[in-house]
Amino acid sequence: MSLNVPSRRLLKSAPSSANALVPALQSLSINTRSIHTTPSQQWSLFGWGKQKVEERNKVKEELKQSELARTRKPTQEEIFERVRGRLEGDSIFADTTPSSELAAEQDKHKDWATASAEKKLAAAHAKDQTPTGISLKKDHLVRVVDPDPRSRVRWERKMVIRKLQRGTDPWSVEPKAERIARTERKLVYKTGYLPTSVKKLVHLSRQIRGKTVSEALVQMQFSKKKMAKEVKTELLRAEAKAIVTRGMGLGKAAAAAQKETGAEPVKIQTKDGKHLEIRDPTRIYVAETFVNKGFTRGVELDYRARGRVFKMNKPTTTMTVVLKEEKTRIREHQERVAKKLRQGPWVHLPDRPVTSQRQFYSW
């Protein structure tokens, strides 16, 4: 069952007798939608609309007052009052702020990170441990540094006895490896994981092998390869580490003095047949370089025909550089020359007994 009810506009314009019928119509128990009516004053100009207009005008007035206060220029009396407070002290550079207020401001603006770190450190020392949980007790520290003191003392005694025996025995000979480790310096430096493949990085590795560090840096500076810049950075790090931790390359002053006096350089021939003139035996050069494969840093999909998808792995590679001084190249050259002299000249028919052959013709 439906009931046709007039709209709000008709009810609003109807006389008061029609408005009195609305509650009676709403009380009817008929299966219809409820009738929503609004008081006539709420929609009038002097009701709801007037209230909103007044609020807007009030907000506009407040914004206007704040803008005027912000853009207003200070008067001459206000400027004098500000300057007078600064000039009251003995000097214009004197701080007239009380020390208590200054301390309060400093405490207010203190870095919260520093405060929290100090708090954690104090709590850790109270518990005899570091903020990371490491014990600071003396017994624990000794146990970590020297876990087996008896074995350490036994090993030290053994090494001292061995050194004395070799030094006092007239027939003992120092092993070659120990002599080289005692007289020559070297550094093995491994780079980080570079975002390239072994196939691409191995060309740069071969390019700097056998050259001095300065020559290798020039090669990497003017190379068109993408990883040349990274290799140059790693070479600089390796050279700095060799100078600081191994004391390599510290004879430049002696080489300069030798050059001024007119002393002739040492002439050698490398293993590759290249002739060199060495004035500074402590000059650093790249003795060995080799490349190793690293982890896969990502996978890229390659979409092919017939709905197939291939995986392209993005590799990483590390380069290991072995730096040595020119002393090592001089020694290797002298060893090659001495070996060649020991062998003697080559003879086409050497004087040795004939074996595994008959003394007469076989036909």
Per-residue pLDDT 10s for the chain (363 aa) are 455 555 555 545 555 555 555 555 555 544 544 444 545 444 444 455 566 778 888 888 888 888 877 777 777 777 777 766 555 555 555 555 556 666 666 666 566 667 777 777 777 666 677 767 777 777 787 888 888 999 999 999 999 998 888 878 888 888 899 899 999 999 999 999 999 999 999 999 999 999 999 999 999 999 999 999 999 999 999 999 999 999 999 988 777 887 788 788 899 999 999 999 999 999 999 999 999 999 999 999 999 999 999 999 999 999 999 999 999 999 999 999 999 999 888 888 777 777 777 767 776
pLDDT of residue 41: 47
Would you put residue 277 in left (φ > 0), alpha (ψ -120 to 50) or beta? beta
Containing H/E element for 27?
helix 16-27
Here the tokens at position 275 are: 């002739």
Grouping H, G, I as helix, E, B as strand and the rest as coil, residue 135 is strand
- Tell me the whole-structure pTM to 2 decimals: 0.54
pLDDT of residue 14: 52
pLDDT of residue 6: 53
Grouping H, G, I as helix, E, B as strand and the rest as coil, residue 278 is strand
Containing H/E element for 294?
strand 284-303
pLDDT of residue 46: 47
Query: How far apart (Å, rounded) are the C-alpha atoms in residues 280 and 325?
Result: 9
Place of tokens 């570091």: 130
Residues 6+ apart with CB under 8 A from 282: 248, 249, 250, 251, 252, 255, 325, 326, 327
Which of 33, 3, 38, 34 has its CA nearest to residue 19? 38
